[in-house]
Amino acid sequence: MRMQTLCLSGLLSIALATAAGVAAERSMEQISQEEVRAAVRAIVEKQMQANGGVFVFRDSRAGENLQLVFADIRLVRSIHGYGFFPNVLFHAKDMPEKQYALDFWLKPKGEGLELVDMRIQKGPKKEGNTWTMVTRMPVAWWWIPASEHPGETEEKRAWEVMSAIHEHIAQERHEHNGIYKLTDDKTGAELALEFVEIHQPVRKLQQDGRYFACTDFRRQGSQDEYYDIDFWLDDKSGTVTVGEVRVHKVPQQEAGTWVQIPRYNFDGLNYEEVK
């Protein structure tokens, strides 16, 4: 775990290096796909040099550190105002047939690009004697928009709400070496958590217009202790921002197995699903 958190911090430093001391920020339209690809290669190469030729990536779903080797940049997608999403192909060390596709999330920062986060888009699955790549579900929010320039709508869409949650989580993780720290609103204890995924669907309260979504986190150092954390978001200024963060379910051991116990429910709340 320590290796990966150091890697995340180092990657962010690399991505920000070209932007240091630069006040002006370029628009996405001023950044070419070739620049995005070059930024990805620089991040990957620097990390591999620091780790003996492997790219160390934390698979939060499996709870393990993967030792990967860079293969290729498959494609670069973008969403106007949200950043670039290059899809990068790796394979397991000493196993070229065992492949992973990782999404990098990059945003303009000064004259360079800032690494926001990385997620596994496809992972290996063995079928007989061969390995195939299978899409991880649920898909990351950046695969949901149908167009690259989504435009503005009066009602926020589900992926826009998820992007605000994800960016909030990513910023907190960058500040704490890859860990999301949260004060338990009931016990007052500080929780050190590893981000796993954002649940779908996203919902909107009819009473006050707030959005909310559930997420999965694993307790740092554990394989089986999962927390369900709810993020509540406001849309008062036209931009969705995280307001309240609450512990929804906590891990508890029953008959030797970790299960999630709800702290509260949504009885009495009227809400609708956000598309």
Mean pLDDT of the chain, nearest integer: 89
- 149 domain residue, yes or no: no
Per cent of the chain over pLDDT 70 is 88
pLDDT at 59 over 60: yes
Determine the average pLDDT of the residues in 50-78.
Answer: 96
167 and 125 fall within a common domain = no
According to the model, what pLDDT value does residue 268 have? 84
Average pLDDT estimate for 63-74: 97
186 and 244 co-located in one domain: yes
Q: Give the domain-ending residue among 115, 143, 171.
A: 143
Run of H or E residues at 3: helix 2-17
Query: Could you report the per-residue pLDDT of 222-252, keeping only the tens digit for each?
Result: 999 999 999 999 988 778 999 999 999 999 9
Let me know whether 50 and 103 are in one domain: yes
Does pLDDT of 16 surpass 50? no
When divided into structural domains, the chain yields a total of 2
CB neighbour burial string for 45-73, b if at least 16 within 10 angstroms, e if fewer: ebbbebbeebbbbbebeeeebbbbbbeeb
* Chosen domain end from 96, 111, 143: 143
Does residue 189 fall inside a structural domain?
Answer: yes
User: Does 75 share its domain with 162?
Assistant: no
**Domain contains 270:** yes
Show the CA angle centred on residue 156, arms to residues 75 and 140, nearest 5°: 35
Same domain, 234 and 264: yes
148 within some domain: no
Domain end position, chosen among 114, 143, 172: 143
Q: What is the DSSP secondary structure assignment for residue 246, as one 8-state letter?
A: E
170 and 228 share one domain? yes
Are 41 and 84 in the same domain?
yes
Instruction: Check residue 148 and give its pLDDT.
Output: 44
pLDDT at site 5: 37
- Residue 151 confidence class, pLDDT cut points 50, 70, 90: low
From the list 56, 14, 21, 54, the residue with the least C-alpha distance to 38 is: 14
Domain interval for residue 130? 2-143
Query: pLDDT grade, residue 25 (50/70/90)?
Result: confident
Residue 119 binned pLDDT confidence (cut-offs 50, 70, 90): very high
Q: Which amino acid belongs to residue 231?
A: F
Q: Name the token pair of 254.
A: 């029953």
Judgement on whether residues 6 and 139 belong to the same structural domain of the protein? yes
* Same domain membership, residue 166 and residue 122: no
pLDDT of residue 168: 97
- Identify whether residues 178 and 233 lie together within a single domain: yes
pLDDT of residue 251: 97
- Percent of the chain past pLDDT 90, that is, above it, reads 81
Query: How large is the average pLDDT for residues 166-193?
Result: 96
Residue 152: inside a domain, yes or no? no
Check residues 154 and 73 and name the one with the higher pLDDT. Answer: 73
Domain contains 153: no
**112 and 227 fall within a common domain:** no
Looking at the predicted structure, is the pLDDT value of residue 274 above 70?
yes
What pLDDT score was predicted for residue 214? Answer: 96
Residue 110 placed within a domain: yes
Tell me: pLDDT of 57 over 60.
yes
* Mean pLDDT along residues 154-179: 93
Closest C-alpha to 165, from 243, 106, 110: 243
pLDDT tops 90 at residue 2:
no
Q: Is there a domain that residue 190 lies in?
A: yes
Task: Report the alpha-carbon distance of residue 182 to residue 263 in Å, rounded.
Answer: 16
138 and 163 together in one domain: no
